[in-house]
Amino acid sequence: MSTYTEDQRKVTTHRLSEMKARGEKIAMLTAYDFSMAKLIDEAGMDVILVGDSASNVMAGNITTLPITLDQMIYHAKSVVKGVKRALVVVDLPFGSYQGNSKEALASAIRIMKESHAEAVKMEGGAEIRESIERVLCAGIPVMGHLGLTPQSINKFGTYAVRAKEEAEAEKLVADAKLLEEIGCFALVLEKIPAQLATRVAAEVSIPVIGIGAGGGVDGQVLVMHDMLGINKGFSPRFLRRYADLSTVINDAVAHYIDDVKTRDFPNDKEQY
C-alpha cells in the first residue's frame, strides 16, 4: 500500500526537481497499456515510463531496436488514458532521433501531439546534443539516459555494467553535466557502479533516476514485467521482484482450463 497517494496533485517536471531538493526519492516504473498504467498510477507512482522495453516485454523482440515510432505512440496513447497523477515520459525509439535534429524534433512532436504524454526520453550524451537541444527548444521536456543505453547494445556487444573504466566514467560525468546544462529535466543512469551514480547525483541539480545504479541517486526505475515477476527469464542483481505474477497467472489459467474441461464452468448461476 502506497503512503504517497494522499497527494493527488499532478506530478510535473517542476515537482520532480522539488522532490530532489527536499531529498524525497522518486519512484518510476514502466507501463505500456491502459489497464496496467491505471493500476500503477492509482498506487501512487511518480513517473510512468512508456519504455522502448515494450519491444522486449510486449512484442517479444530480443532488443529494443525493432520498435517503431508508431508502435511507441500506440503504447503511449493507451498509457496516458489510464493516468491521472503520474508524469508520463515516452522513449524516443531507435532510429527516430539519431539521424538529425529535425528528425528528432518531428518524432518528439508526434509523440506529444498524438499521445498527450508530457515528456520524452532520449539515450546518449554529447553525440546527440543537437537533437536534444532542438526538442527542448520546442518546449518538450527531455529526460536523458546514460550508462547502459540498450539502443546501443550492438556497439557495446554485452549487457555488462558500463563505465567501470575511468575514461568511460569521466565521459559519463561530463555527459550528465552537459544534459543538465542544456536543459534536460532529469536523467536515467542504467547499470553503472553505485559510487559513480552517487557522484553524478551529487554533482548535477537535476533528478537522477537509477536502474542498477545503487541507492545514492534521487529515484529508481524498473521494468514492470520484471518487478512483477511476469518475465522470470531475466534476473540481474539489481532486480527486486515484488510479486510472482507468472505463477499466479499460470495457476489461474490452468484452473480455468480444468473447470472448462470438467464442465464445472459455467455453473447454473453463471448463465442467462
Active site residue ranges: 190
- Which residues, 6+ apart, have CB-to-CB distance to 80 below 8 Å? 37, 88, 115, 116, 117
C-beta closer to ligand KIV: residue 156 or 265: 156
Asked if 101 and 131 count as a contact pair (C-beta separation under 8 A), the reply is yes
C-beta closer to ligand KIV: residue 48 or 105: 48
The residues of the shown chain that bind ligand KIV, judged by CB under 6 A, are 30, 49, 51-53, 91, 188, 190, 211, 221, 223
Residue number of the CB closest to ligand KIV reads: 51
Task: Give least dist CB 264 to ligand KIV, A.
Answer: 40
The DSSP code sequence of 244-271 is: -HHHHHHHHHHHHHHHHHTT-SS-GGG-
Task: Give least dist CB 158 to ligand KIV, A.
Answer: 16
The sign of the torsion formed by the CA atoms of 82, 76, 240, 145 equals: negative
Task: Give least dist CB 1 to ligand KIV, A.
Answer: 25
Task: Give least dist CB 192 to ligand KIV, A.
Answer: 13
- Distance spanning both ends of the chain, measured CA to CA: 38
Q: What share of the chain is helix, strand, coil (3-state, %, to 5)?
A: 45, 15, 40
C-beta closer to ligand KIV: residue 159 or 271: 159
C-beta closer to ligand KIV: residue 82 or 210: 210
C-beta closer to ligand KIV: residue 49 or 169: 49
Angle in degrees, CA 112, 76, 108, rounded to 5 = 30
C-alpha cell at 160: 555488462
Task: Give least dist CB 247 to ligand KIV, A.
Answer: 23
Q: How far apart are CA 82 and CA 41, in angstroms?
A: 8
